[in-house]
Amino acid sequence: MAQLNMVQAINQALAYEMEHDDRVVLLGEDVGRDGGVFRVTEGLIERFGSERVLDTPLCESGIMGAAIGMAAYGLRPVTEIQFMGFTYSAFEQLFAHAARVRSRSRGRFTCPLVVRTPYGGGIKAPELHEESTEALFCQVPGLKVVVPSGPYMAKGLLLSALRDPDPVLFLEPTRLYRLIREEVPEGEYVVELGKARVARAGGAVTVVAWGSMLERVLKAVDGYDAEVLDLLTLSPFDIGAVLASVRKTGRLVIVHEAAKSCGFGAEIAATVAEEAILHLRAPILRVTAPDVPVPLAKLIDHYLPGPQQIRGALDEVLQY
């Protein structure tokens, strides 16, 4: 088995599915000739041609809207939005349409669309290139939100997303693109959407994370009896797995790199409070970024949650 980084793993998933399903087409800015600004689609236009890999004009709303039409017609479009911050001008297409084609047409038309976009901080890029506003998308019924945490998961989850009957936002943690290498099987395998993964077993405290925070959490919990859950799908999230772990440990720390207020941690905490409050031996703590816009390079390290804050929260719930 080959050791791949996440860029290569995602590329493999796209190539595999394009090879086996002629409905799969890619569209976005710079995805063809340039192979995408992170090279995720490298080589695909050469292999599958410019009818299946479309270099589009600069128009996120147009890209998203067009993909909806393609999906309704029976194709399986994959859009690449260059950075999460540029999905904002496509909100109308995504929220008012992609997420509602099925319900609005009562199933006569559907929208099996995958929206891929790099997301998250820590790459010292310009403004709007390090956003993590995943919770916004999780509030929209009719849309699934998936966040891989490494190459193996990325390939398996993307293959599932490509076969899913509904629109899926696939958030690729930019900081991890080339940070982690893992064994990735060459052929086909799928990782089911909606299922969390126990990334590390433990008994005294549950830590829930996703995306690039998972990597930080796994380093920070060294020496603690912590169970780490990699959520992988945020919408719908694996309530059963979170509850099972919390019932066992009695403590919950949620770590995300988005701002605290109305971040996805709030949804997890509220669900645990509703379903398992009597199992808790300490308050649920959230380790998050502060409620400020994502800063540029000079301050980004003070913005993203670091190991100290994660350990601080662990100590707090363990000593409660």
Partner 1 sequence: MPLESIGKFETKRLGVLNERGEADPDLMPQLSEEEIRRMYELMLLARVFDERAVALQREGRIGTYPPILGQEAAQVGSAFALSPGDWVFPSFREMGVHLTLGFPIAQLLQYWGGDERAQKAPEGLNIFPFCVAVGSQIPHAVGAALAVRYRRDPAVVVTYFGDGATSKGDFHEGMNMAGVFKLPMVFICQNNQWAISVPLKTQTATTSLAQKAVAYGFEGVQVDGNDVFAVYRATREALEKARGGGGPTFIECLTYRMADHTTADDAGRYRPPEEVALWRERDPITRLERFLEARGAWTPQRRVEAKEKAARVIDDAIREMENVLPPAPAELFDGVLAALTPRQTGQKKGL
298 contacts partner 1 (rule: CB under 8 A): yes
CA nearest neighbour of 156 among 183, 177, 138? 183
The three-state secondary structure class of 203 is coil
Binding to ligand TPP by residue 82, rule CB under 6 A? yes
Please tell me whether the peptide bond between 185 and the residue prior to it is cis, using omega within 30 degrees of 0. Answer: no
Q: Are 60 and 27 in contact (CB under 8 A)?
A: no
SS3 84: helix
Selection from 27, 49, 47, 36 nearest residue 7 by Cα: 36
End-to-end CA separation in angstroms for the chain: 45
86 binds ligand TPP (CB under 6 A): yes
The least CB distance from residue 127 to partner 1, in Å, is: 5
Which residue has its beta carbon closest to ligand TPP? Answer: 86
Supply the DSSP symbol for 97. I
Size of the site for ligand TPP (CB under 6 A): 6
Positions 203 through 262 that interact with partner 1 (CB under 8 A): 260-261
Instruction: Give whichever of 66 and 204 is closer to ligand TPP, judged by the CB atom.
Output: 66
* Range in contact with ligand TPP (rule: CB under 6 A) among 81-89, 166-174, 253-261, 270-278: 81-89
Set 129, 256, 279, 302: catalytic member: 129
Q: For residue 92, what is the DSSP state?
A: I
Packing angle of the helix pair 212-220, 307-318 (nearest 10 deg):
60
Q: To the nearest whole angstrom, how small is the minimum distance from the Cβ of residue 82 to ligand TPP? A: 5
Q: Is 51 one of the binding residues for partner 1 (CB under 8 A)?
A: no
What are 55's two structure tokens?
Answer: 């270099």
Active site residue 302: no
- Assigned token pair, 262: 């109305």
Sheet hosting strand 114-119, strand order edge to edge: 53-55, 24-28, 76-80, 114-119, 168-173, 144-146, 233-235
**Three-state SS for 145?**
strand
CB of 217 to partner 1, least distance (A): 20
Binding mask 129-168 for partner 1 (x = CB under 8 A): x---------------------------------------
Do strands 24-28 and 197-200 pair parallel, antiparallel, or not at all (unpaired)?
unpaired
Binding of partner 1 by 86 (CB under 8 A):
yes
Q: Which is nearer to ligand TPP, 125 or 318 (CB)?
A: 125
DSSP alpha helix (H) spans, 74-143: 91, 101-104, 134-138
Tell me: does residue 303 bind partner 1 (CB under 8 A).
Answer: yes
Residue of the chain from 17, 29, 80, 238 that contacts ligand TPP (CB under 6 A): 29
Q: Is 35 in the site for partner 1 (CB under 8 A)?
A: yes
CB of 125 to ligand TPP, least distance (A): 10
From the list 82-90, 133-141, 181-189, 310-318, the region that binds ligand TPP by CB under 6 A is 82-90
**Catalytic residue list:** 129
Binding site for partner 1 (CB under 8 A): 29-30, 32-35, 37, 55-62, 85-86, 88-89, 124-129, 260-261, 290-293, 295-300, 302-303
Contact residues toward ligand TPP (CB under 6 A) are 29, 58, 60, 82, 86, 89
